[in-house]
Every structure is written in structure tokens, then in C-alpha cells.
């Protein structure tokens, strides 16, 4: 059980909705089961840990591709069963309805407005980025708003069903029912987004057998050419989140990532 007396409204409820939404894909990865949820706590099944293997990592990559392919109503849409915003760590995570609002459409505008700019502002207020660094990030946002295909990839990319906070700590490894190991997903910030975002998060903080995960993924769903060159763009969002939470070192990393696309 995770308990937090000072949990903000919906903190555990949106986590539960996200876990259920992800687990609704039969061929997707295993997702920790929700046993109970309330305003100040969530109860989850216990996961018995085991060591990851390359075979389990490849199977996880295939399952992750199938999860993404299950789709979402729109970029920024919340998990099914939840209507409000969510959270990324302790920070509010904006959700949006169909489209991204007046004046733009598609993933680029969504990512700039709802995943980069809110945390850029918060990082500036915290003092984690200087004005010069912020302007670099803003230049990238302008390219995203314009739908620059060098940044957005396939213009026909439809919203994927994302975990949304897929760093290595949110991928547990447990013994599979038939023997061996399997990945188990926990702690999502689930929403409709770009499939490359989850993959970039896996790479940002390192995942055991990552090469096998990516090989399995591409065997199931070939990615748009150039996706590796866009990884740092997708990492800009979590780096800014970390800058807000933990300070300037992450702000400098965010600016360095942004310079690749400004």
C-alpha cells in the first residue's frame, strides 16, 4: 500500500485509472493490479522481484509496441475513467480533450504547449534555468508549433497509449507464470502521446537490456526513420520536470538537449 495523508485531489485515483487503462490491452505488458484506491492511499498487488534477462526484455519491447498501438482518443487525453488532469511525480500534468485547442493541432503543438512550456515556466521560476537557456527551449517550441517534420516525425502518427513516466524505476522484473522473467509496469502518468516518448524515457535513465527491448519493439512495430535522433527532444519534458523538482543540473541538461533542435 502507498499512503499519503497530504495527497492532492485525485493523486491516487488518476494513478489507478492509468494502471487500469494500460492493463486493458490483453497483449500489452503486465501491469501491476490495483486492489483498492482512496483519496489518501492505493493498494497494489505485491511484485516478487527477479533478475531481468535479454529474452524478457525483448518480449517487453514487443508488448510495449502493442500497448502503444492500442491508441488513445487524442494527444494529451487522460486515461479512460478519468476526466481531470494528472500528475508526473508530485507535479500537475495537464490533460487535454480532443485536439490541442485553437490555433494548432497534432503532436508538436501538444508537446510544446502541454509538456514543455509549463515545466519551462516552472523551472525558470525555481531558478533552474537562466533566461538564455529558456530562449533555446522556446525556439524548439516554436518549431514544434509549426509542425516541423524533422522534429515531429511521421505527420500521420496517431496518439499512442503511453505509460508516460517510463523510466527504469517504473519497470519491475518479476517471475513469469511459465518461468523466466517478465516486466511489470508501475507508477504511470498515462495519457495519449507519441510512442517515441516512452522509448526516450527508457533510454534517459537506462534500462537493463535496453537494446533487446528496442529490438523487440521494432520487430513488432517499425519506428519512423530518425527516431533515435529525436530521442533527446522527447527527453526534454522529463528533464524539465526534474529541473523543477531537483534543480539546475537538470536545467542545464534540458538546455543541452534543446540546443540539438533549436
Q: Is 198 a catalytic residue?
A: no
Other CB atoms within 10 Å distance of the CB of residue 3: 11
Find the helix packing angle between 131-145 and 117-126, rounded to 10°.
Answer: 170
Residues 155 and 106: beta-carbon distance below 8 Å: yes
Residue carrying C-alpha cell 533552474: 128
Cα(214)–Cα(223) distance, integer angstroms: 10
- Active-site residue, selected from the candidate residues 69, 83, 165, 229: 165
Give the three-state DSSP class for 13: helix
Please state, in angstroms and as integers, the Cα–Cα distance from residue 160 to each residue in 24, 102, 124, following that order: 14, 22, 30
Question: In degrees rounded to 5, what are phi and psi of residue 86?
Answer: -120, -155
Cite the active site residues.
165
Amino acid at each position: 500500500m502507498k499512503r499519503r495523508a497530504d495527497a492532492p485531489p485525485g493523486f491516487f485515483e488518476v494513478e489507478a485509472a492509468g494502471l487500469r487503462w494500460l492493463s486493458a490491452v490483453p497483449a500489452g505488458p503486465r501491469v501491476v493490479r490495483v486492489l483498492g484506491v482512496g483519496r489518501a492511499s492505493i493498494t497494489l498487488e505485491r511484485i516478487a522481484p527477479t533478475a531481468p534477462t535479454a529474452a524478457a526484455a525483448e518480449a517487453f519491447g514487443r508488448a510495449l509496441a502493442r500497448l502503444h498501438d492500442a491508441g488513445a482518443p487524442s494527444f494529451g487525453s487522460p486515461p479512460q475513467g478519468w476526466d481531470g488532469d494528472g500528475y508526473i511525480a508530485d507535479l500537475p500534468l495537464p490533460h487535454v480533450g480532443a485536439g490541442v485547442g485553437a490555433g494548432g493541432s497534432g503532436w508538436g503543438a501538444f508537446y510544446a504547449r502541454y509538456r514543455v512550456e509549463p515545466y519551462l515556466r516552472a523551472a525558470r521560476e525555481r531558478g533552474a534555468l537562466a533566461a538564455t537557456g529558456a530562449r533555446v527551449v522556446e525556439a524548439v517550441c516554436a518549431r514544434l508549433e509549426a509542425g516541423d517534420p524533422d522534429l515531429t516525425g511521421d505527420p500521420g502518427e496517431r496518439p499512442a497509449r503511453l505509460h508516460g513516466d517510463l523510466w527504469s524505476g517504473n519497470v519491475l522484473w518479476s517471475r513469469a507464470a511459465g518461468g523466466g522473467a517478465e516486466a511489470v509496469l508501475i507508477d504511470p502518468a498515462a495519457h495519449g502521446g507519441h510512442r517515441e516518448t516512452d522509448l526516450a524515457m527508457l533510454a534517459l535513465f537506462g534500462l537493463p537490456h535496453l537494446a533487446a527491448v528496442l529490438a523487440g519493439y521494432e520487430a513488432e512495430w517499425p519506428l519512423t526513420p530518425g527516431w533515435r535522433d529525436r530521442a533527446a527532444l522527447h527527453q526534454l519534458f522529463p528533464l524539465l520536470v526534474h529541473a523543477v523538482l531537483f534543480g539546475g543540473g537538470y536545467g542545464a541538461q534540458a538546455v543541452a538537449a534543446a540546443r540539438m533542435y533549436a
